């Protein structure tokens, strides 16, 4: 069974498809995981769609992922059905798959599910789905979710990673999280140093590291973020300005503020570094 999931590309497609008729969940799961890593024909498409249709609470979530990954357009209606399932893992995978397939008619429902849900799986996959949507209107929706005080820290990290992905900064943000979650001082120090010349200065490092240690916003950082958002008319900056105006920057958690700083720095003009407001 482990072999099916790890080296599926060496097993014939027909054999993998036959495994989908197994009475054992583990066999079906591993067969689907293997199929997700290879190209396959119409008969296997039918078998995957059958798992999506009949595998609620078991294998449907993997099938949904495959439908999105392999661009199986005729699976759209089943994915739409999955958005209303009581299987939260299936719901989340359907959100991502529908966006991968470009089903814009489902976007409003996906955003609504993301906004209203308190289920970690739906929030994590919903954030991913929103980050894949074209345009920047979903960015503030993602960031707004990250300030929910009821969200577990691990879920907040996933949500903010999705926000960073909207401007192709997920790798830099991931690197920051690795450092910050182990040692806030080290993470903040390296982060601000990396952004030197784009709204921040190396001499600010000690102040921002202190802010990270206290986990509360400092006035200077607040003003710098507002300045970063104010000097650009890019769609990203406009969305951020709207968010800060609506929520109030003093109510934004420190980690979310760092993510906003990264996002704004990514769309700023590095040839014309910003002047940091005095403190």
Contact 152, 269 (CB under 8 A): no
* DSSP character at residue 200: B
pLDDT of residue 279: 30
Give one DSSP letter per residue of 8-77, joined into a string: GGGS-HHHHHHHTT-S-HHHHHHHHHHHTTS---HHHHHHHHHHHHH-TTTTHHHHHHHHHHTT-GGGHH
Closest listed residue to residue 140, CA positions, set 117, 169, 162, 118: 162
Per-residue model confidence as pLDDT tens for the chain (279 residues): 445 445 445 788 999 999 999 999 999 999 999 999 999 999 999 999 999 999 999 999 999 999 999 999 999 999 999 999 999 999 999 999 999 999 999 999 999 999 999 999 999 999 999 999 987 778 999 999 999 989 999 999 999 999 999 999 999 999 999 999 998 888 887 887 777 656 566 666 566 666 666 665 666 677 777 777 777 778 888 888 888 888 876 678 888 888 998 898 888 754 333 333 333
Contact 226, 249 (CB under 8 A): yes
Contact 129, 98 (CB under 8 A): yes
pLDDT of residue 272: 36
pLDDT of residue 202: 60
Closest listed residue to residue 11, CA positions, set 28, 35, 29, 27: 35
pLDDT of residue 236: 86
Closest listed residue to residue 250, CA positions, set 225, 217, 201, 223: 217
């Amino acid at each position: 069974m482990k072999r099916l999931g790890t080296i599926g590309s060496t097993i014939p497609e027909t054999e993998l498809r036959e495994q989908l008729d197994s009475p054992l969940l583990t066999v079906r799961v591993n067969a689907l995981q293997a199929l997700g890593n290879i190209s396959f024909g119409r008969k296997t498409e039918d078998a995957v769609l059958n798992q999506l249709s009949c595998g609620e609470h078991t294998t449907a979530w993997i099938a949904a992922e495959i439908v999105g990954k392999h661009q199986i357009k005729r699976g759209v209606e089943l994915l739409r059905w999955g958005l209303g399932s009581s299987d939260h893992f299936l719901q989340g995978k359907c959100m991502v798959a529908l966006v991968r397939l470009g089903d814009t008619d489902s976007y409003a429902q996906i955003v609504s599910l993301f906004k209203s849900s308190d289920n970690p799986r739906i929030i994590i996959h919903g954030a991913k789905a929103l980050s894949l949507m074209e345009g920047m209107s979903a960015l503030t929706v993602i960031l707004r979710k990250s300030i929910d005080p009821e969200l577990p820290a691990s879920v907040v990290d996933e949500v903010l990673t999705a926000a960073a992905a909207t401007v192709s900064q997920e790798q830099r943000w991931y690197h920051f999280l690795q450092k910050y979650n182990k040692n806030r001082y080290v993470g903040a120090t390296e982060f601000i140093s990396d952004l030197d010349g784009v709204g921040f200065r190396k001499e600010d490092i000690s102040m921002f590291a202190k802010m990270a240690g206290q986990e509360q916003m400092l006035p200077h950082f607040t003003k710098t973020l507002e300045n970063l958002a104010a000097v650009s008319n890019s769609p990203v900056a406009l969305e951020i300005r709207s968010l800060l105006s609506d929520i109030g920057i003093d109510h934004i958690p420190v980690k979310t503020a760092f993510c906003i700083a990264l996002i704004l720095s990514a769309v700023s003009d590095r040839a014309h570094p910003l002047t940091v407001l005095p403190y």
